[in-house]
């Protein structure tokens, strides 16, 4: 009886340790996913910022100013 009880306790302990190991792997995986999502969000924010800067630099009013000022510079050198 006591051998069966000890064996049962050992088997249950081993099973619980395996479950804890699986749970820790899940926690580690979720942590890594959160870090990757954070890096993706940071990259997306940088892309959005650059896109806005490009749109502002290519706006018709700014392009017109650039063309006119470049034209004046060329007229000055002639």
The Cα–Cα gap between 12 and 18 comes to 10
pLDDT score at 78? 52
Name the residue range of residue 55's domain. Answer: 2-77
Place of tokens 């081993």: 14
Q: Which of 4-8, 29-33, 60-64, 70-74 has the lowest mean pLDDT?
A: 70-74
What average pLDDT does range 20-47 have in this prediction? 98
* pLDDT (average), residues 27-40: 98
Sorted by sequence, the CB contacts under 8 Å of residue 62 that are 6+ apart come out as: 56
Q: How many domains does the chain have?
A: 1
Instruction: Specify the residue for token string 């099973």.
Output: 15
Are 49 and 55 in contact by the 8 Å Cβ rule? The answer is no
């Amino acid at each position: 009886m006591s051998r069966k009880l000890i064996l049962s306790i050992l088997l249950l302990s081993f099973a619980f340790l395996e479950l804890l190991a699986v749970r820790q792997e899940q926690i580690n995986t979720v942590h890594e996913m959160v870090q990757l999502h954070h890096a993706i969000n940071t990259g997306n924010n940088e892309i959005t910022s650059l896109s806005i800067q490009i749109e502002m630099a290519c706006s018709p009013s700014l392009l017109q100013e650039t063309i006119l000022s470049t034209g004046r510079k060329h007229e000055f050198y002639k």
